[in-house]
């Protein structure tokens, strides 16, 4: 008699609740103009702002614990692309392929934009999953092309409970 002690799979679609990939160009100084990035790349960002732009933020009153709203200035400049809501897949490779197809043809322009020391480009891969094990099925050539677009790739893993 054979008894199954544990079942596992390397199929990331089974385990993943949601996957998203973001590509962001950030600058703490003043050498990045998000409108210029949009024009040069001919790509509409998912989000962009300038350092000092006002935004509505949440605040908590320490006396009564109530949540309120406050207008604050942005501390940096950002131009970014998100795959969430655009790519309907629970495979990291599909999300990275979207970024690759959208931005790799503009590699030279991106490298010029991120050349200054105060400009930083990052790809963030976020996976919400029901299990703590993290694995991705991504072709190495795709990952290497994405590496050329930025200065850093980060992986974020969020564990969620079944039924959430």
What is the value of pTM for the model shown?
A: 0.81
Helix 140-148 to helix 92-103 angle (10° resolution) is: 40
**Residue 10: pLDDT band by 50, 70, 90 thresholds?**
very low
Question: For the segment 20-48, what is each residue's pLDDT rounded down to a tens digit?
Answer: 999 999 999 878 999 999 999 999 999 99
Provide φ and ψ at 147, rounded to 5°. Answer: -60, -35
Q: What is the mean pLDDT of the chain?
A: 87
Rounded CA-CA distance 151/110 in Å is 11
Rounded CA-CA distance 28/51 in Å is 7
Question: For the segment 56-108, what is each residue's pLDDT rounded down to a tens digit?
Answer: 999 998 889 899 999 999 999 999 999 999 999 988 999 999 999 999 999 99
First to last CA, the chain: 37
């Amino acid at each position: 008699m054979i008894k199954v002690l544990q079942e596992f799979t390397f199929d990331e679609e089974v385990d993943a609740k949601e996957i998203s990939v973001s590509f962001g160009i950030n600058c703490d100084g003043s050498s990045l103009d998000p409108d210029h990035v949009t024009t040069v790349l001919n790509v509409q960002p998912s989000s962009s702002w300038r350092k000092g732009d006002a935004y509505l933020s949440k605040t908590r009153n320490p006396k009564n614990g109530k949540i309120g709203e406050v207008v604050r200035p942005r501390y940096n400049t950002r131009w970014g692309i998100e795959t969430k809501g655009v790519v309907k897949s629970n495979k990291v490779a599909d999300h990275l392929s979207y970024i690759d197809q959208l931005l790799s043809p503009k590699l030279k322009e991106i490298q010029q934009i991120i050349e200054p020391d105060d400009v930083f480009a990052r790809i963030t891969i976020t996976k919400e999953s029901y299990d703590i094990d993290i694995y991705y099925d991504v072709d190495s050539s795709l990952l290497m092309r994405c590496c050329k677009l930025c200065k850093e790739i980060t992986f974020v893993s969020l564990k969620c409970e079944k039924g959430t």
